[in-house]
Amino acid sequence: MGWTDERVADLKKLWLDGLSASQIAKQLGGVTRNAVIGKVHRLGLSGRAAPSQPSRPAFRAARPRPAQAPSAPRRIDPAPRVVATAAPSVPAPRPAVLDLPGTATVLTLGAHMCKWPIGDPSSDEFSFCGRRSDEGQPYCVEHSRVAYQPAQKKNGGKELARSLRRYI
């Protein structure tokens, strides 16, 4: 099907009304979206009354934010001390760090924190130990004792000979 004067007039009207090339091609029939775009460029129709609108709204509902997980071990600041006299200043003690097991989550677990799992992974209360671990170790001292058992001494040939005697 060719571009008749009537079809070109319809194309100009629909283009200026703000319809997309796909919508115009459907209304005209017998032409493709690319044919409409080519004709629009050849006619020099660049200005539009309004940009074409998407067929579906661009609105997206906001996703609910996940609950804030407890952060890394919390610091407890001691109450401020009141100095009555002008004695030489003594540095204030460093605040204590809570070192409780089960305070770390997947999101708060750091490189030097104990990665011993606590609880059922499928439950919401699942966490990791989170206490400070030794350099290069994945677990704290307590959990390392559980995870790494000392190698058992084997009696070598004596134990093997004893077990073979049972079957001979």
Three state DSSP letters for 11-42: HHHHHHHCCCHHHHHHHHCCCCHHHHHHHHHH
Strands 96-97 and 75-76: antiparallel
**Its pTM surpasses 0.85:** no
**pLDDT confidence of residue 161:** 73
**pLDDT confidence of residue 154:** 64
pLDDT band at 126; cut points 50, 70, 90: confident
Count Cα atoms within 13 angstroms, Cβ side, for 34. 0
Tell me: the pLDDT tens digits for 7-65?
999 999 998 888 889 999 999 888 999 999 999 999 888 766 555 566 666 666 667 76
